[in-house]
Every structure is written in structure tokens, then in C-alpha cells.
Amino acid sequence: MSENIIEIKNLYKIFGNFYAVNDISFNVKKGEIFGFLGANGAGKTTAIKILCGLSYPSKGEGMVAGFDIRKENEKIKQNIGYMSQKFSLYEDLKVWENIYLFGRIYGLSKKEIKLRTELLLKRLNFEDKQDALVSSLPLGWRQKLAFCIANFHSPKVIFLDEPTGGVDPITRRQFWELIHESAQMGTSVFITTHYMDEAEYCDRVSIMVDGKIVVLGTPQELKTKFNVLSMDEVFYIVATKKR
């Protein structure tokens, strides 16, 4: 993996005297699973909004999916997938209606949507659920469907904002199988999570504290650096500033 799908250099987001994002730099390679960790209020969401083309940086530069974060926001949006824990699907629409809607938003043709829908439903064993309202599906099923829809248009990178919150351990494992399948196909995955066992599944991990990226490396590198056995211990040491 040598091609960088995300390149960020000296990025800031400043609100008055408050530095929500304070001089962060990093890159994400093609097909890499990149964990973007930090406690609530660390600046993760603000940074992600910039990367997704939803907000402008105060200072700094960067590229996402080959497009400038300052000048090409709309092109960034067309070449990424995004899934949040709070809102990803329209619950008052049927499964197939959600797939069709997002397919059209992503600019796919009706013929292409039909073909990809058949493959998606088969992949998830959802053939008998295509006419079900999304609101009737268990949370874990909705989350897996939301991920596949975020990946429906074959984006270069998918942003996942705490995608497994509230789901059971079996569903979480299935969800990570989908993530690894996408990464193996060359899609980069940029994920935030509060489950430190999930951080172990990432190729590399960064941890933000007060708007800054304090550490960045593979899970094993970080555990070795702090002489601990788990990412949970790494996170505790870094987030409480007992370094």
C-alpha cells in the first residue's frame, strides 16, 4: 500500500480563541484501516467534518480521495462514503428504497443500482427483507445495511463514526468482517470507535487529546511504546496525559 488516499498537513480549526483542531498531520493509505481515536471533545468530529468536505479548515492543507479540502469539497463528497451511529438510513423507507435513494444520490444509473442491489441483498442474506421498513430491523442489521450502502458506489474511502455502538458482540464481529473485505478490495476505512478492542483490528491508530494527535502508529507499536498489553491501556495513559 503506497498510495495515500488522505494527506493532511498542519490542519487547524479555530473558533475564536478555541483550537478544536490544533496542527494535526497524518496520511491514510489505500486499503488501510485507520483508527481515529480520542475522548469526547478531543476534536475528532470537527476534523472528520473537514475531511468529508462539510467544513473548511482555519489553516492547513490536505487532500482526500485526490481532492483539495479547501477547493474541491463537492468532489470529495462524491468520492467518499460516510456512516454515522446516529443517522445513516431513512427508517420510514423500505430496505430497497433506501438502497435506491442513496444509489441515485451517488449518481449511479438505475441499471447499475438494480445489479448492485441484488449483490448487496445476497451478501447480507437480506433477500427476504428488501420490502421491510428499516425501522423494523434489529439495530445490528441496520448498521450492516448502512455500511454496505455507504460502500455502494465503491468510494475510495469510507468514514465510519462509531458504527458499532450499541450492537451485540456477534454483530460487531460480522461488521468488522465487512470492513476487512472492503479494505482488501482497496477501499480505505477511516473509523472512530470507543471500543478499544476494535482499535486492535486497525492497521494504524491515532489518538487525539485537546485537538492534537498525541500518538500515531500500529497497535503493536503503541503497546510497545507504552509497555502495555492492550490498546485500552494505551488509550488510558494517553487520554489522561500520564505519559
Give the SS3 label for residue 80. Answer: strand
Could you give the CA distance from residue 48 to residue 53 in angstroms, rounded to a whole number? 9
pLDDT of the residue at 1: 41
Could you give the CA distance from residue 13 to residue 5 in angstroms, rounded to a whole number? 21
Backbone torsions φ then ψ of 182, nearest 5 degrees: -65, -45
Could you give the CA distance from residue 9 to residue 24 in angstroms, rounded to a whole number? 7
Radius of gyration for the alpha carbons in the chain, expressed in angstroms and rounded: 18
pLDDT of the residue at 158: 96
Buried b (16+ CB within 10 A) or exposed e, 100-113: bebbeebebeeeeb
**Residues 6+ away with beta carbon under 8 Å from 192:** 35, 36, 37, 38, 44, 48, 160, 161, 162
Entry pTM: 0.91
Give the SS3 label for residue 18. Answer: strand
Say if CB 82 and CB 119 are below 8 A apart: no
Could you give the CA distance from residue 94 to residue 100 in angstroms, rounded to a whole number? 10
| Local structure of residue 218 (DSSP, 8 states) | -
Could you give the CA distance from residue 77 to residue 45 in angstroms, rounded to a whole number? 16
Q: Which three cell numbers stand for residue 94?
A: 423500505
Could you give the CA distance from residue 124 to residue 115 in angstroms, rounded to a whole number? 15
Q: pLDDT tens track of the chain, all 243 residues?
A: 448 999 999 999 999 999 999 999 999 999 999 999 998 888 999 999 999 999 999 999 999 999 999 999 999 998 999 998 776 799 999 999 999 999 998 889 999 999 999 999 998 889 999 999 999 998 888 988 999 999 999 999 999 988 888 888 888 898 999 999 999 999 999 999 888 999 999 999 999 999 999 999 999 999 999 999 999 999 999 988 754
pLDDT of the residue at 243: 47
**Residues 6+ away with beta carbon under 8 Å from 82:** 52, 150, 158, 159, 161
